[in-house]
């Protein structure tokens, strides 16, 4: 008995609906009954829903009835055609050309002392240091400045091109902004 290993779920319904005129799943099952003795009309609906897989003879019979390629219906690539092998032949070793010896020149250079590169300077702190300060009577202006700075900081934190050092600087600035927003800063004189 051949294994049921072909899932026709993605393409069987499409092929059935594209027939002119369209064929119902029950009608398709009835048309296959003479060709496949154990095949029932309900098997087509089960295959379309993915509850039942098909054997290769069932795939071929369905493809012939629906007038489609069996490999397409089974969602498989068509195997490459077999290429006939050439007759083997043996070349006598005396007729083969002799390979030339490979000569690789050895070049030696005096080892120059290599100084290690200087360490890179630390990146600058790119986060701004000016946090808006709440001045009595200017609460609206303060809230607007805080929301603008926080929005700009969050956009900068989402930048994937930041180095870890720059990201930490912007993260610390965000923390200071949030602290200032809840009133943990000294008022301007």
79-102 confidence digits (pLDDT tens): 777 766 666 666 666 666 777 877
CATH 3.90.550 fits 12-73, yes or no: no
Q: Residue 31: its pLDDT value, please?
A: 85
Q: Residue 176: its pLDDT value, please?
A: 81
Give the other-Cβ count within 10 Å of 145's Cβ.
Answer: 18
16, 22 contact by CB (below 8 A): yes
Mean per-residue pLDDT, 111-129: 65
Q: What percent of the chain has pLDDT over 90?
A: 0
Show the tokens assigned to 166: 């720059």
Mean per-residue pLDDT, 72-79: 80
71, 8 contact by CB (below 8 A): no
Show the tokens assigned to 65: 């009835």
pLDDT tops 70 at residue 20:
yes
Q: Mutual orientation of helices 56-66 and 25-32 as an angle, nearest 10°?
A: 110
pLDDT tops 70 at residue 75:
yes
Query: According to DSSP H, which parts of 67-163 are helical?
Result: 70-73, 139-157
Q: Residue 2: its pLDDT value, please?
A: 64
Q: How far is CA 120 from the centre of its chain?
A: 37
Q: Residue 186: its pLDDT value, please?
A: 45
Q: Residue 29: its pLDDT value, please?
A: 86
Domain residue ranges of the chain, discontinuous segments joined by +: 12-73, 125-189
Give the other-Cβ count within 10 Å of 187's Cβ.
Answer: 9
pLDDT band at 189 (very low <50, low <70, confident <90, very high): very low
Q: Residue 188: its pLDDT value, please?
A: 46
Which residue has tokens 């069987």? 12
pLDDT tops 80 at residue 36:
yes
Model confidence pTM above 0.85: no
Which residue has tokens 């009133």? 183
Contacts of 163 (CB under 8 A, 6+ apart): 123
46, 32 contact by CB (below 8 A): no
Q: What percent of the chain has pLDDT over 70?
A: 79
């Amino acid at each position: 008995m051949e294994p049921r290993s072909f899932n026709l779920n993605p393409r069987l319904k499409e092929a059935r609906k594209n027939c002119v005129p369209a064929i119902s799943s029950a009608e398709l099952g009835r048309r296959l009954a003479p060709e496949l003795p154990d095949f029932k009309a309900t098997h087509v609906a089960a295959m379309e829903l993915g509850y039942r897989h098909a054997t290769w003879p069932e795939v071929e019979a369905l493809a012939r009835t629906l007038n489609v390629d069996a490999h397409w219906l089974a969602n498989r690539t068509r195997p490459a055609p077999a290429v006939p092998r050439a007759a083997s032949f043996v070349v006598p070793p005396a007729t083969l050309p002799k390979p030339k010896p490979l000569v690789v020149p050895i070049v030696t250079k005096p080892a120059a002392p290599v100084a290690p590169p200087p360490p890179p300077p630390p990146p600058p702190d790119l986060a701004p240091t000016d946090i808006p300060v709440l001045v009595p009577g200017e609460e609206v202006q303060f809230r607007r400045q805080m929301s603008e700075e926080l929005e700009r900081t969050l956009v900068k934190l989402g930048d994937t091109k930041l180095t870890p050092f720059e990201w930490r600087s912007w993260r610390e600035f965000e923390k200071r902004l949030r602290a200032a927003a809840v009133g943990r800063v000294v008022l301007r004189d």
